[in-house]
Chains A and B, each alone.
Chain A
Amino acid sequence: MPRSHSPSPTAFAPPAPSSRASTSYTPRPTPSLDPAALLAIRDLELRTRLVMEGVRAGLHRSPFTGFSAEFTEYRQYAPGDDLRHLDWRVLARTDRHFIKKYEDETNLRCWLLLDSSASMSFGARGVTKSDYARTLVATLAWFLHEQRDLVGAALFDESIHDVVTPRVRPGHLRHVLAALARPSNGRDTHLETALTEIARLARRRSLIVIVSDFLTPPANWSRALAELTAAHHDVRALQILDPAEISLEGFGRPALWEDIETGETRYVDPTRAAALYRRRLEEHTAELHTAFNRARVSRQLITTDEPLDRALLRFLTGKAGGYEHERVARTGSAPRPRP
């Protein structure tokens, strides 16, 4: 069987079907790594290292262990082989014992596209979305780099302003971390421009992970996203939101509210405006859902009170997010073992 160079989900399990009510917020149990305590550490590399330890532990317990290798061929079972790798279907059909053989995938090319606009600097409980997202992306980069995958990063606001092209050589991770740790004074979010530019940068088929709050209208960028997936890139979306952005709670008395990006101000009574806000956010989430599904892009919502290692594990194991057609499509196109 020819070796596949396509960005297949070797590193990531297929995401589970998403729910339309994914923006409903419920308080989390006691986290293993408190985001506020973790993000109080200024050094991004140290934060990443701490999260990585949790991720490693989580992966060890994961039932999806072993999916990080590419299937290559079958061989005859010999006593002492790990029965987990025995192909039971072939055994049922042919009554022969075959062991699946895998090959480490080293050619996965991953772009981590991080939103650094002003809206990401929002944080109601001491944890900004920006810090959270940078740590998440850094941990992901670390994880991929440990697997000898090619990982690169691009930060955008009105356009892409910091780019580290995917490489695998030693020391490359430090470049990625340095780019992620670089402060940004971005203002507005132009996701369409960023998607267009990343399509130009990613000449080969790649895994593209977009980390943003996706609060801009999907109509502005859904076409660019569809073009990205049409170019055979595997695109995943991580939506980072603050819990206060979902519930609109904890804002106290009426006050003058100012938009963090546009500077627009209006007098808002949060108690009275909460119901309408939630309804509009639900509508926006539905639009997002439609846009991602059309583009066959999986989306995972992460709130900043969720422990980073758990969020990352959820992403790596595909337990949350996704799109409804993807499962069918991947099931239909999955390589089948030939006896």
Chain B
Amino acid sequence: MSFLTPWFLAGVALIAGPIIAHLIRRATRERVVFTAIRFLDTSAPRLDRRSRVQHPWLLLLRCLIVAVLAFGFARPFFRENLPPLAVTTIPRHVVAVIDESASMQRTGSWEAAKSRILSLAAELNPADILALLAAGDRITELISASQWLSTPPENRSALVRSVLDSRQPGWGPTPLDSAAEAALARWEDMTETTGADAARRELVLVSDFATGSRIAGLAKLAWPANAEVVLRQITPSVLGNASLHWLGWSDLDPERPAARIRISRTFDAPADLRLVWRDPATGNALADPEPLTLLPGATEIRLLPLPPNAPPALRLDLEGDQQPFDNQLFLLRPAPRELPIAYLADHTDDDPQHARFYLERAITGWRDPVPVLTDTLPATDTPSLIVIPDALDASRLAEVRSRLESGSFALVLLSRDELLSTAATLAGESNWTPLAPSRPDALLGQLDFQHPLFSPFADPLYSDFMRIRFWDTHSVALPADTRATVVARFDDESPAVLEIPVGRGRLIVWAGGWSPSASQWVLSSKFVPWLQALAERAAGGPAQPAIAEIGSASSVPLPSTPGIHDLGTTTSRRIALNVPAAESQTEPLPYDTWEQLGVPLRGSTAGGPAAPPSPSFTAAATESQQQLWRWLLWLAVALLAFESLASILLSRRPAPAR
């Protein structure tokens, strides 16, 4: 029998622990209270063997547990039972990942990375398989396993070279965890392709391993038993970096907005730095350069006022740094979204019996969207919210209908049954019949908290609508073929809030009035958030960020280069994209971070061809196949359970008389 980690056998010496514990327990546990101690002398400990150990068989059991654990940790295996491993014939399934993140734009990094990949391709045997991935703002497969296998061995290095020559480092983050996850999938593909289960799986990461690399996802990966990760670290020829990072806008001075910027400088970065505002389209300076004094290794947050008459799109340059990949910051000042709210009724804003009174007060102070309450319908192509508290004539109905079809939202308040025909006409449906209320007062009984109108109240903290009473409801009996969605129902299950898609717009029907005599709705705390959710939908959804990082999550595909970009053709949305701030953290990751994440490391940061399996590797593989330590561990657990049971029984035994 051999041991993989024989130094754990020294743990057998811990058997002394239970022995000492038994002796100590015997001497100190029992106490006798007596009256005439002065007639007694201190007794010397007995030396006969029977009385020295209190429960010898229990002690034996405990010693056995310690010994079994020590043997288990020593990881024993039988060398003679295994055939010798044919280490030289094991094929290698190699997935190489080259870092294409923004930090690889540093001087000398990309060339060194390409050289490492080329040397790796050169050292592979003809039976080995290579898949080459690029990790940037997304994972790109440069060479697939099938492409590698279909290429003659003598042409494979040229294939790798030609592929790498067409690549350049990008501007995105370093998703090493996504690359490792893709490598696991590639290994499965290689195994399926070749049918070689016993192949050695290697993941070769060629990167600068900057601190800003995304590696958190490595912890959740289930690595195969025969997988190894080789780290090939790239060191740029020029060290030191200074960077800019956008934090937000400052509203301290409404007359002159300012940008809150974080500026960092490493110890090796040059000291002569300057900040310059420029026009991103032309590159012209908008103001004089501002000298920047920053201590080595320092990080500073500054409030930079925008230059006078600055355009909405700006670029802030950090000049003087030798690594320019993170020295530009593109900024886009957000334009407020105006939302016209057309109130189609001849009501004054100081009459609390009508909805306008509450509408005007509810929308005061909104920042996004910025509502504008009007009495007239807005232009056809402008997203708007139309509030209809009264019946409309046919021509007005047609105008509202056209706005709805072009994307506007309309809200019909059914304060009377006569308004039912107006709502049905706008919805383009018929057979809407009034539904008589079953009770004099009603509550909102069922609400769809998944719907955007009520999703702000999905938290149980805010989902209590039972205190809002409705005394004047005018619900609707809908036909079977209706397109209306019931968003909320009263407690008698009659519809309270309906939504009907009309063209690109939506028609919202509220089955009741908003006056305080009809309900407590407008006076409740739910009214303003509900109205804001409605206005936000009418304005086109939640506000989208105007400044983002490359590779960040977005509802629409984002470009992969920094700059000011127009998104899509249907909207006029623009976005300023910048290099991820994490890419500026160029300090290399500590080596033990990989081990903490459970990555099966094999190599070190040094390059060079992989060494053939050593005898220790063969022993480890043998031990890994036999796994005797598992049986020893189970044996220790069983002994421990038996020992616990015996200890409990002994502790319940009555103590001798005092």
Instruction: Name A's B-contacting residues (CB within 8 A).
Output: 119, 122, 124-125, 213, 215, 242, 245, 250-262, 264-269, 272-273, 276-277, 280-281, 284
Contacts and interface: CB of A to CB of B under 8 A. Distances in A.
B35 A251 contact: no
A270 B35 CA distance: 14
Contacts of B38: 259
A267 B38 CA distance: 13
Given A253-B656, A266-B37, 18 more contacts: A119-B35, A122-B33, A122-B35, A125-B657, A213-B35, A245-B35, A253-B30, A254-B46, A255-B31, A256-B31, A258-B33, A259-B38, A260-B34, A260-B35, A266-B42, A268-B42, A269-B46, A281-B36
Interface string B11-43: 000000000000000111011111111111111
Contacts of A276: 39-41
B43 A124 contact: no
B220 interface: no
A273 B30 contact: no
A266 B40 contact: yes
B52 to A, nearest CB: 11
A276 B40 CA distance: 7
A256 B33 contact: no
B31 A277 contact: no
Nearest to A124: B658
B39 A281 contact: yes
B34 A257 contact: yes
B175 to A, nearest CB: 66
A215 B38 CA distance: 10
Nearest to A215: B36
Nearest to A122: B35
Contacts of B657: 124-125, 250-252
B28 A256 contact: yes
A267 B27 contact: yes
A281 to B, nearest CB: 6
Contact of A260 (B26, B28, B33, B656): B33
Contacts of B39: 276-277, 280-281, 284
24 contacts: A122-B34, A125-B657, A242-B35, A252-B656, A254-B43, A254-B45, A254-B46, A254-B51, A255-B30, A256-B27, A258-B34, A259-B38, A260-B34, A262-B37, A264-B37, A268-B32, A268-B41, A269-B46, A272-B43, A273-B40, A273-B43, A277-B36, A280-B39, A284-B39
A250 B31 CA distance: 14
Contacts of B32: 251, 255-258, 268
A170 to B, nearest CB: 39
A251 B37 CA distance: 14
Tell which of B34, B37, B40 has the most Cβ of chain A within 10 Å.
Answer: B34
B41 A273 contact: yes
Contacts of B43: 254, 267-269, 272-273
Interface of B: 26-28, 30-43, 45-46, 51, 656-658
Given A252-B656, A267-B27, A269-B46, A257 B40 contact: yes
Contact of B35 (A215, A253, A255, A256): A215
Contacts of A257: 31-34, 37, 40
B555 to A, nearest CB: 76
A206 B36 CA distance: 31
Contacts of B37: 257-259, 262, 264, 266
A337 B33 CA distance: 56
Contacts of B34: 122, 257-260
Contacts of A272: 43
Contacts of B26: 253
Contacts of A265: 31
Contacts of B33: 122, 257-260
Tell which of B36, B37, B41, B42 has the most Cβ of chain A within 10 Å.
Answer: B36
B40 to A, nearest CB: 5
A269 B656 CA distance: 14
A269 to B, nearest CB: 4
A259 B35 CA distance: 6
A269 B47 CA distance: 12
A119 B28 CA distance: 23
Nearest to B38: A259
Contacts of B30: 253, 255-256
Nearest to A125: B657
B40 A245 contact: no
Contacts of A273: 40-41, 43
A272 B47 CA distance: 13
A70 to B, nearest CB: 41
Contacts of A252: 656-657
Contact of B656 (A215, A251, A259, A277): A251
Nearest to A242: B35
A296 to B, nearest CB: 26
A260 B26 CA distance: 21
Contacts of A267: 27, 42-43, 45
Contacts of A259: 33-35, 37-38
A284 B51 CA distance: 32
Q: Which 7 A-B pairs have the closest CB atoms?
A: A252-B656, A269-B43, A259-B37, A255-B30, A280-B39, A119-B35, A266-B42
A213 B36 CA distance: 10
Contacts of A262: 37
A125 B657 CA distance: 8
A268 B35 contact: no
Nearest to B657: A250
A80 B179 CA distance: 129
Contacts of A280: 39
Nearest to A272: B43
Contacts of A253: 26, 30, 51, 656
B28 A277 contact: no
A250 B34 CA distance: 13
Given A124-B657, A251-B657, A268 B40 contact: yes
A245 B36 contact: yes
Contacts of B41: 266, 268, 273, 276
Nearest to A255: B30
B35 A261 contact: yes
B577 to A, nearest CB: 78
A265 B28 CA distance: 11
Contacts of A213: 35
B235 to A, nearest CB: 68
A98 B45 CA distance: 74
